[in-house]
Structure 1
Amino acid sequence: MASNAFSGIAEQVKLDLLSATHLQDNINKRKEVSRTFISDTITVPTPEMYQYATLATLGDDVYFEPSTKALEDHVAKITGKEAGLFMPSGTASNQIALRTHLLQPPYSVICDHRAHIHKYEASGAAFHSGAAVLPLIPSNAHHLTVKDVKDNMILSSDVHFAPTEVVALENTLNGTIFPQEEIVKISEYVHSQGKKMHLDGARIWHVAAETETSLKELCDPFDSVSLCFSKGLGAPVGSCLVGTTAFIAKARAFRKLFGGGMRQTGVFAACAAYALTHNFPLLPSVHALAKKLEAGLEEIGVDITSRAETCMIFYDPTPIGVTYEEIGDRASQLPEPLVLGGSRVVVHIQTSESAVDAFLSVVRELAEEKKRAGFVRPEPSTANGNIYKDVYVRRLPKST
């Protein structure tokens, strides 16, 4: 029998996370997600995904976890690589990949100036690997070319420079598709110099769906690839890093070193497997909905600064006299609010068509109000070319 002292401690330790309204709260959250355009990372597991996850194996992934191993093997197989490694996040996957490729500084990594590994991973390449990042602006304002890489790759033995050891590409990058023929040219050149290629393929699923190209073909030019399950596919957490057997063995050691060794990951692996089976086939309809939104915005008169090649659109409402803040404020005041950021609009597998219609109605209404107030559309300007602003200011619905 427990002592009174222990019973008191046990009482203090107790925690019940489930409120009296949590079931309704989750229903409300799913509704909010269906009307949220800030990212595709905000998708939530469905009851069916949860149910499938409860059937997963119960191993410890630091030792051996069967469901997780099955997922790793499957992703390696479909990407044409020897082995895979489940990761807690895309950032961990990218950074561990770079650390595994890189040996002893000084060295540098080439990437697009908009790349996730450069802008949104907290300077991880410098912190974890001691690597300089060489962010390049594509000469064609869309994607890096083999000429861009050749002109900037450091191959000199001059002690003033950090030699380039890895070229890291991203596909999709802000929703745009990197032409495969250019990737092959870059890969051939980089490998001819004895250097490595890494792909941040967080949203490579979208490329496969839109171009109807196999994942193996998309991944063949790379020595390592990171693929995300929680971007686009709707799993709650996780990415997979693939490469050679030796590379993945070394990466597994770095994962442990970085604090990424996980225990009962079977439930996460099952969610990812469910997403691959049931959510990947939804991506063509996501792209179609994004194109509908793009066409609607363009018809209203806003500038499209980066088109809906897959699931993202970047737009500029200033030609109709409207600001992002005005759109966000009006959208947040709807009876069923929309959650918007700035210039970036993301459509995902749980976006409702009614949310797209509501978004277009808000922009159209504001445009008409500005026109009635005397706003005259300025003459078109090409000053900004195809360069768009990265604006990620989350605007939450106002409480009612």
Structure 2
Amino acid sequence: MNKLKQFFTKVNKIETFSPYFFLPFIFVLYFFTSLFDFHRFDQFKLSESIWPVVILALVCYYIGVYIIDKLQWTIPSFGLSFLGKYVIQFIVLLTMIGLVCFLKLIFDGGLGISDESNRRNLDPKLNFFSQLLWFGVLLLLSYKMILEEKMTWKKAFVYGSILAVVMFLFLLMAYRTPLIIMLFTGIIIVHYVVKQVKLTWFLSALFVIAVVFSMFGFIRVLTEDLSKESNSRDQPDVELTVEEKAKLLTAEQKVNLTPKWIRAINQESVTGHIVLSTIIEYTQEEDYLKGEIHRGIFNTVLPGQQTSPRKKVTEVVNSISIEKGKYITRPSRTTTPTFIGQLFLDGGYLLVAIGFLLYGVLISLIYNKVRQAGIRSFHTVAYAFVITVFTVSMHTGLLDLIFILMLGFVIIASSSIKTNKRKLQY
């Protein structure tokens, strides 16, 4: 018993949200849980291992973090320090824009939670700008908590309740990503200004959160209106040999031996594994897309009909899986490629190495700014938001222009705000 207690004592000394632990831990956990595939890998006949590129990504991330940590570099001001005094006013303005667009979206009947097809048919411009509501509220609440001279659990509860209301509003849109970003950014802020979140508590909370959000996605699928063509679950009409049909049927039977609700627990990570493996297989047959995915992020705001990056990923992975008699993603849906898959599809191992190196560098630059200026600064808010978005992108990819703009704003705001140099304490 004493040895077990000593073990947990040592574990709880780990700085849960440091660049060395938080993102890499979620990253490794994501791909580890994907190994419990309940025969889905056989169902999709995966032929390419993801582990070489996963290990490369992790190593390059750590190299980026380590180099910046040792050099003690911080994010530069970019010559924009004169903007620092206007940051809060600008966040308030963004929040107001977001509120107006959100209300317009709701009054127009844009409740994505009512049906999956409604979520995909929301007005794209209103949906884009409505995201500024949760973004602005999250930053303002987090910064207010940071500036509290004496943060109590009572005050934290009040701030948490306000954030919970905003989370509920965006729950009506049926998008999980903003909810996860708000939740984990809030947890990191609490960790630094209220009470340090011990690793054992964090792991327990992480398990509960993962199950809740998995069940949310599961229920969302169960409640689809199958009479709508966009919700069709028909599989591709392709010619398979008798042997291929028998193997596919056997694999599906093995998959169905596990109840759907159990499979739903790690559905996202298993699908991410399948998508990444299929992307690797695609590039070996068709070559890399050489920037098409990342250009698509910005092309979506251009006039006319544009193919979104995730829609392109759907086309890519289905072009491989159709030959095997299955859709990885229904043709009417989009596909989250994982951040590795996003980079690999455009530029292979080289782009993955560069992307994760830059992730490590950027996170470490902001973290060093927090350590230099102290936790009672906007830099803590910036760090919490950036590392959360980067961590979430391990599954979703970083393919939404709104999130890229949010990251850019937070990073520039952090670099422009002047603070006194104080040692990090919490």
Place the TM-score, normalised by the shorter chain, in its bin. Answer: under 0.3
TM-score for the superposition, normalised by structure 2: 0.24
Instruction: Decide which structure has the larger Cα Rg and report it.
Output: 1
Question: Quick check: which one's helix share is greater?
Answer: 2
Question: Quick check: which one's strand share is greater?
Answer: 1
The structure showing larger relative contact order (alpha-carbon pairs under 8 Å, at least 6 residues apart) is 2
